[in-house]
Amino acid sequence: MWFGEGNCLPYDVSTIQTCRSFIDDSDNLTAELGLKTNPFKINLNKSKVGSETVIYKIDIPELPVERRKLQLTHCSRYTDPSRPYTYGVWIELIHEKEAKVAIELDKKYYVDDVNLAQAQRETIGTELAFVLTQSCLDSVDSKDDPQCMYRNGGLSKYILSPRITSVIYPKTPYYLFIHSKYASKTIPSFTLYISDISHACSTNSFDLELNVIGTGDGYQGVFELANAMASRSICTPSLNKGFWFKIEGTEQTLDISTCDSGAFDVTLDLIEVKLSDYGLNNTSTDLSSIDCNSAPAKCLATRTSGCGEDSRLARLIQRIDSKHLYFLFLQINEEYAASINLTIKSICPGDCGKRGICSTSSGQCECITGYNLVDGICTLCGNGKLDKDEDCDPTIEGNNDTQCTDFQHVVMDKLMNLKNVMEDMDVIIVYV
C-alpha cells in the first residue's frame, strides 16, 4: 500500500486498527500517556454564557511508538480505496444539546487569518486531514455503512490545517478521525479546537475586496474540492460542499463566473443581509451572529447555469447596493476531485451612464435608442448626428473634417459620461 502518495511498501493487515478498537482501548492509552482525563472521548457539555463563544481546547500528545498503527477509514479522500488505511487518531464526540460547531486543528482560525494567508501567499498549519462519521466500525472486514458525514484536507490553499463544520445532535456519538494523507507520516502531537458557531458564512469566509473586484480582470481564484467544507444556505437548504465569500455592499453590478473551469457541476448562491437585523453596523468586526441559512438573511439569487447550453457551470450577474452585506456560496456538486476557477468583476460602469440597462444575460449595457455601446459604456459616439456637447461626429454622412477622429470623439464623450456619473455621486467638479 501507499506510505506517502505513490510510495508502495508492504503492510501487515493483522495490525490494522478500527475505530471501535481504538476508542475501546482509549482508557488504557490515556493511562499510558500519563493523562488524568481521556482526550479521545469528549463530552461537549459546556453552557453558553450570554453571547460568548464556547470553545473547547483538547491537547493530544504524540502516541507511543508501539501505538502508532494504521487505521481503517472508508471516508477519507487520502487513502487508496482498495487499501483504505492510514495513520491517525480517533476521537468520540457527544453533545448534550443540538449545536452547530466548527472543529479545527492547531488554532481557532478567524476570517482575518484566512484572508492574511491568502494575501501573503505563504502556507501555514499542519498538513493533516479530518473525517467525521456517525459509525464506528469494529472490523476491517465490516460491511456496515461507515456513515461518512464530512471530510476536509485543509482550510484553504495556504492554510494546510483542516476544518469542518457540523450540526451535532444531542446524545448521539460522532467520530472524528484526524489522519495523515496516504499514510505519509505518523501523527504528531496536536491541539484540537471545537467551538460553537451560527454559520460558516460569517466565521469562515474569504474577504473579496472591492478595489480588486472593480479593477481590470477583477478577482480570480482557484478552489479545490479537497479544501471545501460542507454547508447549507437559505438558497439551497440541502447540505453541499463549497466555499463562502464575503462581499461588501456597494452600488455596482457583479459578474460572478465559473465558466473558465473544467466540466464540473457548480451552483452559485448569493445571500443578502442587513447588518442592523443582527444588532451590527458598518464598524462591527465580529459578524459571527450572522446565519446564512435562515431569515432575516435573504436569498438574493441562485444560479446553476449560464456558461453554455451543455455546461453545468454557473454564471451569475447581479446588481448589489451599499445598504447590505453579501455572502457568496460557491457550491461544488462533485464527489471526487474538482478544481473551480472563480472570477468576480464589476461590469456596466457608472450604471451604463444612466443611458441603458445592464443585461443579466450578456453582462453588457443595453443602450437606449440613440446611444451606442463603446468600450463598455453607452455613448452618443457614432450615432450619425451632432449631439449636445459634441464638437463633431465622424459618422455624420458627408463628414470631411480631418481633425474629427474616432479617438478624439470617444474620449470627449467618455469625459462627459464621467462628469455625469460624478455629479450623480454629489462630487464637486472644479474646472481649471
CATH number of 234's domain: 2.60.120.380
C-alpha grid cell, residue 191 = 491541539
Question: For residue 83, what is the domain's CATH number?
Answer: 2.60.120.1050
Q: What CA–CA distance (Å, rounded) separates 217 from 336?
A: 30
Q: End of a domain among 290, 324, 347?
A: 347
Specify whether 273 is located in the same domain as 331.
yes
Q: What is the pLDDT of residue 326?
A: 98
Digit-coded pLDDT (tens) for 203-248: 888 888 888 898 888 999 999 998 898 899 999 988 899 999 999 9
Q: In this structure, is residue 8 part of a structural domain?
A: no
- Tell me the CB-side half-sphere exposure of residue 63, using CA atoms within 13 A: 21
Specify whether 40 is located in the same domain as 87.
yes
More confident residue, 372 or 225: 225
Amino acid letter at 11?
A: Y
Specify whether 190 is located in the same domain as 69.
yes
- Cell 482557484 found at: 222
Q: List the Cα angle 350/362/271 in 5-degree steps.
A: 75
pTM value is: 0.78
Asked if 255 and 345 touch (Cβ cutoff 8 Å), the reply is: yes
Specify whether 178 is located in the same domain as 43.
yes
Specify whether 359 is located in the same domain as 318.
no
Specify whether 321 is located in the same domain as 390.
no
Q: In this structure, is residue 245 part of a structural domain?
A: yes
Q: What CA–CA distance (Å, rounded) separates 336 from 123?
A: 24
Q: In this structure, is residue 2 part of a structural domain?
A: no
Q: In this structure, is residue 106 part of a structural domain?
A: yes
Residues contacting 81, CB < 8 A, separation 6+: none
Specify whether 278 is located in the same domain as 153.
no
| Range 56-62 average pLDDT | 95
Specify whether 270 is located in the same domain as 339.
yes
Specify whether 185 is located in the same domain as 238.
no
Q: End of a domain among 347, 373, 400?
A: 347
Q: In this structure, is residue 285 part of a structural domain?
A: yes
Specify whether 38 is located in the same domain as 186.
yes
Digit-coded pLDDT (tens) for 22-33: 999 999 999 999
| Range 132-155 average pLDDT | 94
- Where b means 16+ CB within 10 Å and e means fewer, 331-352 reads bbbeeeebebebbbbbbbbbbb
Digit-coded pLDDT (tens) for 398-410: 666 665 665 544 4
Is the pLDDT at 186 greater than 50? The verdict is yes
Q: End of a domain among 284, 315, 347?
A: 347
Specify whether 28 is located in the same domain as 98.
yes
| Range 291-320 average pLDDT | 95
Q: For the chain, how many structural domains are there in total? A: 3
| Range 106-113 average pLDDT | 84
Q: In this structure, is residue 432 part of a structural domain?
A: no
Q: What is the pLDDT of residue 432?
A: 33
Is the pLDDT at 141 greater than 80? The verdict is yes
Specify whether 47 is located in the same domain as 82.
yes
Asked if 265 and 333 touch (Cβ cutoff 8 Å), the reply is: yes
Q: In this structure, is residue 6 part of a structural domain?
A: no
Q: Which domain holds residue 362?
A: 351-423
pLDDT-derived band at 355, boundaries 50, 70, 90: confident
Is the pLDDT at 431 greater than 60? The verdict is no
* Residue 248 three-state SS: strand
Q: In this structure, is residue 431 part of a structural domain?
A: no
Asked if 186 and 88 touch (Cβ cutoff 8 Å), the reply is: no
